[in-house]
């Protein structure tokens, strides 16, 4: 039997009526002759509620118990989806991660897939079941504990199942009808893309476009999964939504294809650190060990070289997610107390956001950065840190200008027009 993976996100299973609506879509594919693996998220808001309960119960919580709690939302929807399908006379069975068993690493709250053995689910399909409903976002560690995959992880569950079961396609049903040039909630001028290259989607996702979890795009690229994003609230057919695919399947080629943002960033500056071999490693080593996801890094010229100081000293600036600032501060203070680094002050700015433009066309076009900076200047938006790679340019700016910056860049790069 040909097989499809269909994933429904939180808003698509937010209540019983929406689960019914999603089940109708599954039914249609079964009637077309497919076996279907359905991946479900928790009902919208549920995971946040569970995370809140954990944080209220225990400040420095045990990550194993965090996973035990926050994985529960998906279990409810999986069972309800299987029941809904059964009520529609479709033989369906639900699976929690450990029942498959979805084997992951033991990195709690950020686990990665190790293996998805097919045998259990395949047996059910041969027994005549048409649908396997699998709880997204979770797995089981080598120690036999429940793990979760990081926020948005059900997308990755879906792609991993599509790869493991050689699915014809992996359809991600969500609350927008595809992938847009930028978040359609930020500007009405955002344009839906028919196709987007894996590499561009990978950048957009890692720079904050939460429509797909980054890891899901990585897996789709590696295992050549046909990955599609489409609306669970509209009539859809095989041409709906946006296909994430190889670069050479795409005719349209703009220099910049999308704008992404990440709202909750922080900028930290270590003032007056020694400028000597090994200092960056002495700073960023402890940060990495403390689990701080450092993003952009800027080191200034040595003050001695500009005649400002008799000593070889400089400032080191970096950015990280705002909820990791406390951890970063502690790691740096501990390193200072242990005598591994020295600095006069740690200046923290928690009111910044990151805005990025992405496009594979940048590889062969100059001037993108200049255009980006001039359009931000025209809106009087000050740039605090700049980061670039082959196909993206990111800037850190004051959070209050984030929407404005996204809109200005969307206009500047003419993304509204195909």
By CB under 6 A, tell whether 10 contacts ligand ASP: yes
The distance of closest approach from Cβ of residue 57 to ligand ADP in the complex, given in angstroms and rounded to an integer, is 25
- Phi and psi at 70, nearest 5°, equal -75, -15
Q: Is 198 in the site for ligand ASP (CB under 6 A)?
A: no
Instruction: Please tell me whether residue 362 adopts helix, strand or coil conformation.
Output: helix
Which one, 155 or 265, has the nearer CB to Mg ion?
155
> Which partner, Mg ion, ligand ASP, ligand ADP, none, binds residue 47 by CB below 5 to 8 Å per kind?
ligand ASP
Q: How many residues bind ligand ASP (CB under 6 A)?
A: 13
Neighbours of 188 (CB within 10 A): 8
Please identify which residue in 5, 6, 9, 100 interacts with ligand ASP, judged by CB under 6 A. 9
Quick check: 158 and 172 in contact, CB under 8 A? yes
Q: Which residue has the tokens 């970063």?
A: 328
Between CA 124 and CA 369 the distance in angstroms is 54
User: Residue 153 binds what, of Mg ion, ligand ADP, ligand ASP, none (CB under 5 to 8 Å, by partner type)?
Assistant: ligand ASP
Q: Which does 180 bind (CB under 5 to 8 A by kind): ligand ADP, Mg ion, ligand ASP, none?
A: ligand ADP
| For ligand ADP, the closer CB: 10 or 286 | 10
- Using CA atoms, how far residue 148 sits from 7, 79, 98, 216, in Å, is 17, 18, 11, 14
- Nearest CB to ligand ADP, comparing residues 242 and 319: 242
Give, in order, the Cα–Cα distances in Å from 135 to each of 54, 198, 214, 221, 251. 20, 25, 19, 23, 37
In DSSP notation, 34-73 reads -EEEEEE-PPTTHHHHHHHHHHHH-TT--HHHHHHHHTHH
For position 359 contacting Mg ion by CB under 5 A, the verdict is: no
Q: Does 42 bind ligand ASP (CB under 6 A)?
A: yes
137 binds ligand ASP (CB under 6 A): yes
Q: Which stretch binds ligand ASP (CB under 6 A): 59-67, 145-153, 223-231, 352-360?
A: 145-153
**Contacting residue, 139, 152, 178, 241, with Mg ion by CB under 5 A:** 152
**Member of 5, 6, 27, 47 binding ligand ASP (CB under 6 A):** 47
209 touches, from ligand ADP, Mg ion, ligand ASP, none (C-beta below 5 to 8 Å by class): ligand ADP
Rounded Cα gap, residues 78 and 72, in angstroms: 10
Binding mask 153-192 for ligand ASP (x = CB under 6 A): xxx-------------------------------------
Q: Rule CB under 6 A: is residue 139 a binding residue for ligand ASP?
A: no
Nearer to ligand ADP, 205 or 279 (CB): 205
Q: Nearest approach, Cβ of 54 to ligand ASP (angstroms)?
A: 13
187 contacts which partner out of ligand ADP, ligand ASP, Mg ion, none, CB within 5 to 8 A by kind?
Answer: none
Of 176 and 279, which CB lies nearer to ligand ADP in the complex structure? 176
CB of 152 to ligand ASP, least distance (A): 5
Binds 151, which of ligand ASP, ligand ADP, Mg ion, none (CB < 5 to 8 A, cut-off by type)? Answer: ligand ASP
- Cα–Cα dist 27/21, whole Å: 10
Rounded distance between C-alpha atoms, residue 174 and residue 255, angstroms = 28
> What is the gyration radius of the CA atoms in the chain, in angstroms?
23
Q: How far apart are CA 97 and CA 160, in angstroms?
A: 13
Q: Is the four-CA dihedral 78, 83, 89, 91 of positive or negative sign?
A: positive
CB 363 within 8 A of CB 391: yes
Q: Which is nearer to ligand ADP, 141 or 156 (CB)?
A: 156
Which one, of 5, 15, 73, lies nearest residue 38 by Cα?
A: 5
Look at residues 29, 21, 18 and name the one whose alpha carbon lies nearest to residue 130: 29
Q: Are 217 and 244 in contact (CB under 8 A)?
A: yes
* CB 138, min distance to Mg ion, A: 15
Q: What is the DSSP letter of 382?
A: P
133: tokens are 């409903």
Binding positions for Mg ion, rule: CB under 5 A: 9, 152
Binding positions for ligand ASP, rule: CB under 6 A: 9-10, 41-42, 47, 73, 136-137, 151-155
């Amino acid at each position: 039997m040909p097989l499809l993976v269909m994933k429904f996100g939180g808003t698509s299973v937010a209540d019983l009526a929406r689960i019914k609506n999603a089940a109708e879509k599954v039914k249609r594919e079964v009637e077309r002759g497919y076996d279907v693996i359905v991946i479900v998220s928790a009902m919208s808001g549920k995971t946040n509620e569970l995370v809140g309960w954990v944080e209220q119960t225990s400040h420095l919580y045990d990550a194993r118990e965090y996973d035990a709690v926050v994985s529960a939302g998906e279990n409810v929807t999986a069972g309800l989806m299987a029941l809904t399908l059964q009520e529609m006379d479709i033989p369906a069975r639900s699976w929690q991660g450990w029942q498959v068993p979805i084997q992951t690493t033991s990195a709690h709250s950020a686990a990665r897939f190790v293996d998805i053995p097919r045998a259990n689910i395949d047996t059910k399909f041969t027994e005549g079941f048409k649908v396997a409903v699998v709880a997204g976002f979770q797995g089981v560690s080598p120690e036999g504990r429940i793990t979760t995959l990081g926020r948005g992880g059900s997308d990755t569950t879906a792609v991993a199942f599509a790869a493991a079961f050689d699915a014809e396609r992996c359809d991600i049903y969500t609350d927008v009808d595809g992938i847009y040039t930028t978040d359609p909630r930020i500007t009405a001028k955002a344009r839906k893309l028919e196709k987007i290259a894996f590499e561009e989607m990978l950048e957009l996702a890692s720079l904050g476009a939460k429509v797909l979890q980054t890891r899901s795009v990585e897996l789709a690229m590696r295992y050549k999964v046909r990955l599609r994003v489409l609306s669970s609230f509209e009539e859809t057919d095989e041409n709906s939504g946006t296909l994430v695919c190889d670069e050479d399947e795409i005719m349209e080629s703009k220099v910049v294809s999308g704008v992404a943002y990440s709202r909750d960033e922080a900028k930290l500056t270590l003032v007056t650190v020694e400028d000597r071999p090994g200092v960056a490693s002495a700073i960023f080593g402890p940060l990495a060990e403390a689990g701080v996801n450092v993003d952009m890094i800027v080191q200034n010229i040595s003050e001695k070289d500009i005649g400002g100081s008799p000593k070889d000293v400089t400032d080191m600036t970096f950015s990280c997610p705002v909820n990791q600032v406390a951890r970063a501060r502690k790691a740096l203070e501990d390193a200072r107390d242990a005598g591994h680094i020295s600095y006069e002050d740690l200046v923290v700015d928690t009111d910044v956001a990151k805005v990025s433009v992405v496009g594979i066309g940048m590889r062969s076009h100059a001037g993108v950065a200049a255009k980006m900076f001039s359009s931000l200047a025209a809106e009087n938006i000050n740039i605090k840190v700049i980061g670039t790679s082959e196909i993206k340019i990111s800037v850190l700016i004051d959070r209050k200008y984030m929407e404005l910056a996204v809109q200005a860049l969307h206009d500047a790069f003419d993304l509204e027009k195909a």
